[in-house]
A and B are shown apart, each in its own frame.
Chain A
Amino acid sequence: MSRLTRGYVTNELNIMTTAEQESLIIRRGSPWWRMLLRDRFALVAALWLFVLTLCFLFGPLLFEDAATKLNLRARNLPPGSLEHGWLMYLGGDALGRPMLARLIVASRNTLAIALSAVFVAMIVGGILGMIAGYVGRSVGHVIMRFADILQSFPSLLLAVVVLYILEPNVTNLVIVLAITRLPIYLRVTRAEVLEIRERVFVDAARALGGSRYHILRRHITPVVAPTLLTILTVDFSIVMLAESSLSFLGIGIQPPEITWGLMVAAGRNYLSQAWWLAFLPGLAIMMATLSGNILSNWLRVVSDPEQRWRLEDSSGKKSGQTDA
């Protein structure tokens, strides 16, 4: 306890690094937004993600036309001038389309694919993990070996093969990315279920005649869900990077659809004349993934300290034992 209080007094501003301080704040009952205000990095990350959400929701509606309108006089226009209107502030691409508008419009595909993929992976992985952990040993073995196969091979190569079979549209890209992320959710859910099923409240439910489905849905899901949601926030960045890599390689989303990864690939050909064509979309990817990672770090620290050991124990690789 002395370590806790000392850390809290000497180092009040630095909330992100030490988990103990956070739990102290939680015990004092601070609302989450006040904790967010205390951590500058997390605050900036949250604000940025909020801006991206706005772009995601309203961007295509407002700027779809501007993003596809050609203006040959603004071809490869360097960023930083307001001469052609504020949409051209970040420059124009090889066909004179405003970069800013294109970045905003592309945010929808990029974010939508990453978000849907992690949610699909979480739901399917969670269900499979529950079956593996609760229903039976032999089914469990089959499911776990399936996870082994997926995990023992580089995800990008697997995605390349699958996307080559399926047509590379948004839906298929989501399916492929979800498949490559499945094993994480599957393993964590199974590990948790194996532990929870031995608890007294599950025994009680079983004794009262609860069916398997009822127990899984009513008694086990609520306990597993927070852990899965925490992993989801980390995974969001990973999936976004994977989608961008695929689009960059030309196997992901195809033009005229746009994503940030595709914009980097297109800009690559003009690297020596117009560096901003490849640089800006990449920066957008980086800022989004970095914000996601910062915020998920923050969330992990803030969320229930009682739950933290379980995530660290079952995923086993995100971190050792920080609170040993």
Chain B
Amino acid sequence: MASFLGRRALHSAIALIGLILAVFFLVRLTGDPTDLYLPIDASLETRKEFAHKHGFDRPSAEQFLVFLKDVSNGDLGYSLRKQRPAMELVLEAYPTTLALAGVAMVLSITLAIIVGAIAAYKPGGVFDRISSMASLAGASAPDFWIAITGILIFAVTLRWLPTSGVGDLPYWILPIGVLMLRPFGLMVQVVRAAMLGALSSAYVKTARAKGVGETAVIFVHALRNACLSIVTVAGDLTVGMINGAVIVETVFGWPGVGKLMIDSVMQRDFPTVQATIMVTATAIFLLNIAIDFLYVALDPRIRHQ
């Protein structure tokens, strides 16, 4: 078990470092930020001074060493755009995204487990067919289009919900609904397939023969064993959730990490891009480790390997 977790953690750590390296050098290929941040008629001295101040006049490799030294001191640099520490911007944006993604993820997993389990209980039944179609449609829908259509129907035409912005409950409904859609659609299919397998197994027959109630059979015996594939997919979907968050935050004007990231790349705000990616990659790294622990907790076979 320890070796399993150790190996997985090592692999994730290598991926984390590789990613940070890649991003550091990739963003520097996007062009010179001096062109964007200084007026066109800025004198050569001003440009040199700007480049020198932010270290852009040094070779990339040297910049990277400086970057590493700063990171180990907990300093992720100043945002070029906002003249504030990049870390501050990232930490400011994160709670919004985490709340949005967290609520959407919890809701979609819960709903998907219920719908998928019921669908698998009577494969080929009316509920199964409707939910199969609905989940397929959910997984196929372009989220930006659903967001726009949602605004069109509920905000512009019916005037029930606000078009965009952050605030109390009504502001949350559309973004969360849009963000939920794809994970929900994919999860229903996964839960259904996993439950189908679990429900036809011998231990479920045994449980029924013992006289265990149907609800307990579905949600205790079968679900527990279907959990492994659900956890795998849920982990992948959580990473993919950031893709969704970029879209949703852009359309609904939410000041989250997705929007911060897109804006920073567009404006060559290197320190902010690096800080966002560092934090996101670390979060994903921790998430992967948490998922591995969950595996071990859920499946005794891994524990005894």
Contact = CB atoms under 8 A, between A and B. Distances in A.
Interface in A103-157: 145-146, 148-149, 151-157
A154 B196 contact: no
Interface residues of A, number: 55
Given A282-B146, A294-B136, 12 more contacts: A17-B128, A149-B15, A152-B288, A164-B266, A248-B144, A261-B144, A271-B148, A271-B151, A278-B149, A320-B195, A320-B197, A320-B226
B124 A14 contact: yes
Interface in A304-324: 316-322, 324
A153 B284 contact: yes
Residue of A17, A154, A292, A318 ringed by the most chain B CB atoms within 10 A: A154
B239 A152 contact: yes
B113 interface: no
**Majority secondary structure, A binding face:** helix
Contact of A264 (B148, B239, B284): B148
Interface stretch (B81-89, B166-174, B186-194): B186-194
B142 A261 contact: yes
A14 B243 contact: no
A154 B239 contact: yes
A285 B196 contact: no
B292 to A, nearest CB: 13
Given A248-B247, A271-B152, A320-B194, A148 B144 contact: no
A104 to B, nearest CB: 19
Interface in B96-140: 123-124, 128-129, 132-133, 136-137, 139-140
Contacts of A154: 239-240, 242-243, 246, 280
B264 to A, nearest CB: 10
Interface string A1-44: 00000010001001011100000000000000000000001000
Given A161-B265, A245-B144, A316-B232, A152 B284 contact: yes
A293 B140 contact: yes
Interface in B1-45: 11-12, 14-16, 18-19, 22-23, 26-27, 29-30
Interface string A269-288: 00110010011001101100
B282 to A, nearest CB: 11
A143 B194 CA distance: 30
B142 A286 contact: yes
B80 interface: no
A320 B124 contact: no
**Majority secondary structure, B binding face:** helix
B176 interface: no
A204 interface: no
B265 A290 contact: no
Nearest to A265: B144
A324 B200 contact: yes
3 nearest A-B residue pairs (beta carbon): A282-B145, A319-B193, A320-B194
B275 interface: no
A1 to B, nearest CB: 14
Contact of B243 (A41, A155, A248): A155
Interface string B254-265: 000000011001
Contacts of A152: 12, 15-16, 19, 239, 281, 284-285, 288
A149 B229 contact: no
Contact of B189 (A7, A41, A319): A319
B47 to A, nearest CB: 21
A165 B29 contact: yes
Contact of A245 (B23, B136, B247, B281): B247
Contacts of B132: 16-17
Given A153-B239, A290-B137, A161 B23 contact: yes
Nearest to A288: B140
Nearest to A283: B145
B156 A271 contact: yes
Contacts of B46: none
Residue of A16, A151, A261, A320 ringed by the most chain B CB atoms within 10 A: A320
Nearest to A242: B243
26 contacts: A146-B18, A148-B15, A152-B288, A153-B280, A153-B284, A154-B246, A156-B246, A161-B30, A164-B266, A244-B142, A245-B142, A245-B243, A248-B142, A249-B250, A272-B156, A279-B145, A279-B149, A286-B145, A289-B140, A289-B142, A290-B137, A297-B136, A319-B194, A320-B194, A320-B229, A324-B197
A268 B152 CA distance: 10
B277 interface: yes
Given A249-B246, A322-B196, A317 B190 contact: yes
B62 interface: no
Contacts of B284: 152-153
A162 interface: yes
A76 interface: no
A7 B145 contact: no
A237 interface: yes
A33 B243 CA distance: 38
A236 B245 CA distance: 22
Contacts of A278: 145, 148-149, 152
B265 A160 contact: yes
Contact of B136 (A148, A249, A290): A290
Nearest to B243: A156
B236 interface: yes
A241 interface: yes
Contacts of B195: 320
B11 A145 contact: yes
A164 B30 contact: yes
A187 B190 CA distance: 19
Nearest to B139: A293
Residue of A7, A152, A237 ringed by the most chain B CB atoms within 10 A: A152
